[in-house]
């Protein structure tokens, strides 16, 4: 996804002279060509995330389209108030593209983890949140929303699904229809969910846009008495959206959230080691679905 991000940006830089890229001193080698070709629109801005977001807002006020890029916690958690005041409150457009996801930098410790990003940003009205499942889905979703005049967050991750879908901004994608339960897979969780449910009679909905949340598709496609929400971030992050989407149902289905537990992870290793520790592998997901269906 990171390579695709560079490619997508290079392509848009050549077509849209409003695009300005601010890199927080990470991923800069990938952008060597862009630095050379567009020196006035691509900056290694330095390690000052709060001001970078303010600067991006100033660019946006002047009709430019900023893209801010660094590791998730440094954009979302450190720069939260800047995104809230400078973009949300002021109704300005801009893009925040993060890497690291929940614990891609497993060995670097919790300072570099960000399982809270989507939950945190959901507290800023008007912010769009996109979690692509593959590189080509990122390309598609970025191009359709980067200049829509809204603040938009893109969560890139090391994990990627094997198959891409023709996902659309703001829309959930129906992977399969079944009758015993409904399973929501968010972004890079889809491969595991498909494998875990391959012989199960369940509906699978694939979400890549999390804000605005596609309530209609969920309300119409719901099947069975249980909803499993498989989230690559803190478990229960989507609970408000899911319950709001189903608020017109006479009997609420049971909701089971499968995601990152709300605890600090004091282990290192690779992200797969942490998946195993947190029970977020395909077999763990299958077990929880089968036992709760």
Say whether residue 82 binds other proteins (CB under 8 A). yes
Dihedral, 176, 182, 184, 190 alpha carbons, nearest 10: -40
From candidates 77, 85, 191, 273, binder to other proteins by CB under 8 A: 85
From candidates 1, 9, 13, 20, binder to other proteins by CB under 8 A: 20
Say whether residue 125 binds other proteins (CB under 8 A). no
Question: Nearest CA to 187 among 203, 165, 212?
Answer: 165
Dihedral, 113, 118, 119, 120 alpha carbons, nearest 10: 80
Say whether residue 67 binds other proteins (CB under 8 A). no
From candidates 11, 37, 61, 254, binder to other proteins by CB under 8 A: 61
Say whether residue 41 binds other proteins (CB under 8 A). yes
**Which residue number, 66 or 133, has a Cβ lying nearer to other proteins?**
66
Q: Are the beta carbons of 75 and 26 closer than 8 angstroms? A: no
From candidates 6, 13, 21, 59, binder to other proteins by CB under 8 A: 59
CB of 151 to other proteins, least distance (A): 14
From candidates 89, 108, 240, 277, binder to other proteins by CB under 8 A: 89
Overall size of the chain counted in residues:
293
From candidates 4, 60, 209, 237, binder to other proteins by CB under 8 A: 60
From candidates 14, 91, 148, 287, binder to other proteins by CB under 8 A: 91
From candidates 3, 29, 36, 63, binder to other proteins by CB under 8 A: 63
Say whether residue 62 binds other proteins (CB under 8 A). yes
In angstroms, the Cα distances linking 280 to 231, 258, 260 are: 10, 8, 8
CB of 291 to other proteins, least distance (A): 48
Q: Considering only the stretches 59-67, 105-113, 117-125, 208-216, report the one whose residues sit in contact with other proteins under the rule CB under 8 A.
A: 59-67
Say whether residue 56 binds other proteins (CB under 8 A). yes
CB of 129 to other proteins, least distance (A): 22
Say whether residue 48 binds other proteins (CB under 8 A). yes
Say whether residue 86 binds other proteins (CB under 8 A). yes
**Which residue number, 51 or 163, has a Cβ lying nearer to other proteins?**
51
CB of 127 to other proteins, least distance (A): 16
Q: Considering only the stretches 41-49, 153-161, 200-208, 257-265, report the one whose residues sit in contact with other proteins under the rule CB under 8 A.
A: 41-49
Residues in the site for other proteins, rule: CB under 8 A?
Answer: 20, 40-41, 45-46, 48, 50-64, 66, 81-82, 85-86, 89-91
């Amino acid at each position: 996804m990171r390579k695709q991000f560079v490619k997508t940006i290079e392509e848009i830089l050549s077509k849209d002279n409003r695009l300005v890229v601010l890199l927080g001193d990470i991923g800069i080698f990938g952008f060597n060509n862009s630095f050379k070709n567009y020196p006035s629109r691509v900056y290694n801005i330095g390690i000052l995330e709060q001001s970078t977001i303010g600067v991006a807002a100033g660019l946006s006020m002047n009709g430019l389209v900023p893209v801010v890029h660094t590791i998730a916690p440094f954009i979302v958690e450190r720069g939260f108030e800047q995104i809230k005041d400078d973009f949300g409150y002021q109704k300005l457009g801009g893009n925040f593209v993060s890497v690291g996801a929940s614990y891609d930098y497993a060995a670097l410790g919790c300072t570099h983890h960000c399982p809270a990003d989507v939950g945190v940003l959901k507290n800023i009205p008007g912010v769009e949140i996109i979690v692509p499942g593959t590189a080509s889905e990122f390309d598609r979703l970025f191009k359709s929303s980067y200049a829509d005049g809204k603040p938009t967050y893109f969560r890139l991750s090391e994990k990627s699904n094997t198959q891409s879908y023709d996902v659309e901004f703001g829309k959930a994608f129906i992977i399969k229809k079944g009758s015993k339960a409904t399973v929501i897979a968010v972004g890079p969780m889809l491969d595991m969910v498909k494998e875990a449910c391959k012989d199960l009679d369940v509906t699978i909905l694939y979400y890549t846009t999390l804000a605005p949340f596609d309530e209609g598709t969920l309300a119409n496609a719901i099947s069975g008495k249980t909803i499993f929400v498989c989230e690559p971030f803190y478990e229960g992050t989507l609970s408000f959206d899911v319950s709001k989407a189903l608020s017109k149902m006479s009997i609420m289905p049971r909701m089971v959230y499968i995601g990152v537990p709300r605890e600090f992870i004091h282990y290192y290793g690779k992200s797969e080691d942490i998946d195993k520790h947190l029970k977020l592998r395909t077999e763990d997901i299958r077990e929880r679905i089968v036992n709760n269906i």
